Chain A
Amino acid sequence: DVKVTQSSRYLVKRTGEKVFLECVQDMDHENMFWYRQDPGLGLRLIYFSYDVKMKEKGDIPEGYSVSREKKERFSLILESASTNQTSMYLCASSLVFSGTVYEQYFGPGTRLTVT
């Protein structure tokens, strides 16, 4: 079974702090994704990566950066946390199959509160 793990289930940080969210997958998947989920807005893609050291902006990249130094690990960085980044953050991974993104597998999520 594919396993996607996230470093924390709950985090509380102060405004202006630098925040690292880590995601690890154990199935050698090429693609990894970071989403945030907010009530009424659904899941929105922040960044994704289709290979080591490669990254692409999603729909809402402002205020975030990412790092992928190893295939299994994808980190989301909030350079200077703000209260509007309080959200549920979800990591996902998937295989590439026949040139398209295949089935996505999600981690358990990190609920981040910025005060």
Chain B
Amino acid sequence: KQEVTQIPAALSVPEGENLVLNCSFTDSAIYNLQWFRQDPGKGLTSLLLIQSSQREQTSGRLNASLDKSSGRSTLYIAASQPGDSATYLCAVEGTYKYIFGTGTRLKVLA
């Protein structure tokens, strides 16, 4: 059974720092991996999707990488800003459904 883990559960950093969020999964037979952002009390906003044949995807200050063989993905955030404060979730896709990690709660201090 696929399990998805995100460590750390919470992270505080000063504004301007570059940071890396981690996502690991137990079964490497995945189709896609998607990173989301969730603000308190809100739904999820898609940030990046990496197909299983890809190694990374970039959008603005965000870069996500995927290493299927080691069961790991990282989300790199460059030059963090207070507006980046949110919970970040990764989800891996098996057949017809996604399995979610429990997220990393990020706080960027001004």
Q: Residues of A at under 8 Å CB distance from B?
A: 4, 31, 33, 35, 40-45, 48, 50, 56, 58, 90, 92, 100-109, 111
Contacts and interface: CB of A to CB of B under 8 A. Distances in A.
Please provide the 10 A-B residue pairs with the shortest distance between their CB atoms, ordered closest to farther: A42-B102, A106-B44, A43-B100, A106-B43, A100-B31, A108-B43, A109-B43, A103-B49, A42-B100, A107-B43
A50 B103 CA distance: 27
Interface of B: 31-32, 34, 36, 41-46, 49, 89, 91, 93, 96-98, 100-103
A33 B97 contact: yes
A8 to B, nearest CB: 13
Contacts of A106: 36, 43-46
Q: A interface, by DSSP: helix, strand, loop or mixed?
A: strand
A43 B42 contact: no
B32 A101 contact: yes
A101 B43 contact: no
Given A44-B100, A106-B44, 5 more contacts: A35-B100, A42-B89, A103-B49, A104-B44, A109-B42
Contacts of B96: 31, 48, 50, 56, 101
